């Protein structure tokens, strides 16, 4: 493959992903056509098929990119807080943040989930991507809680499932009733007591009694 094509491929792929998100959000996953995506991105069908085999593969690439971006963004926000100031309330405030652009992604991922519920093969593939996201969420949540001086008393991946359910269920209500329930409100209201109940303080590894060190 010519070097020029190799250099252009990441830009082409990025443009197709950006166009697909907009087209899926505007028309729905099932109604959106590959031609509409290509037209918005300014590429031919050939460019599409040199990067993706189907709309499903394109959505899953969007899913992975969105997951990585959200996790990285939260990590950056957590890292920006001084360790002495990072308690559960501060951590929950960061976890509850919802970007305005999240609405488009919510529309796209909700419709694809409905598609997957009807299609066993799509469900199986989506479940694999969901599982990788949960594992990464669990790993990051465990680390963020440790920075806040807490450790979980429940399985981290099961808690990740619950947090995703709260986020997605809350957003569904927020986008229907934005004036009554701003995005992130339920998390800000209830996650601190929930995480308090499901964690314990990390024990200080250094003995407070010098004599205890020799016991």
What is the arithmetic mean of pLDDT over 34-51? 94
Q: Quick one: which of 98, 202, 94, 102 has its CA closest to 142?
A: 202
CATH number, domain at 135? 1.10.357
How many folded domains does the chain comprise?
Answer: 2
Q: Check whether 213 has a pLDDT greater than 90.
A: no
* Pair (91, 132) in one structural domain: yes
What is the arithmetic mean of pLDDT over 43-50? 93
In this structure, is residue 108 part of a structural domain?
yes
To the nearest whole percent, how much of the chain has pLDDT over 90? 87
Tokens of 23: 């087209």
For residue 110, the model assigns a pLDDT of 94
CATH number, domain at 9? 1.10.10.60
To the nearest whole percent, how much of the chain has pLDDT over 70? 91
* Pair (177, 126) in one structural domain: yes
For residue 153, the model assigns a pLDDT of 97
Mean pLDDT of the chain: 90
What is the arithmetic mean of pLDDT over 48-77? 94
């Amino acid at each position: 493959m010519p070097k020029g094509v190799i250099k252009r491929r990441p830009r082409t792929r990025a443009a197709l992903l950006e166009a697909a998100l907009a087209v899926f959000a505007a028309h729905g996953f099932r109604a959106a056509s590959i031609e509409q995506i290509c037209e918005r991105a300014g590429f031919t069908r050939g460019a599409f098929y040199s990067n993706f085999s189907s709309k499903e593969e394109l959505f899953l690439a969007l899913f992975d990119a969105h997951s990585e971006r959200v996790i990285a963004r939260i990590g950056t926000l957590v890292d920006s807080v001084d360790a002495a100031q990072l308690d559960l309330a501060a951590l929950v405030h960061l976890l509850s943040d919802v970007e305005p652009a999240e609405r488009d992604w919510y529309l796209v991922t909700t419709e694809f989930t409905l598609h997957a519920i009807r299609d066993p093969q799509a469900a199986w593939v989506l479940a694999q991507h969901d599982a990788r996201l949960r594992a990464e969420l669990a790993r990051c949540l465990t680390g963020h809680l440790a920075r806040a001086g807490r450790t979980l008393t429940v399985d981290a991946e099961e808690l990740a499932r619950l947090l995703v359910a709260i986020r997605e269920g809350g957003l569904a209500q927020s986008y229907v009733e934005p004036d009554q329930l701003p995005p992130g409100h339920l998390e800000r209201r209830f996650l601190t007591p929930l995480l308090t109940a499901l964690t314990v303080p990390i024990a200080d590894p250094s003995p407070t009694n010098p004599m205890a060190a020799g016991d």
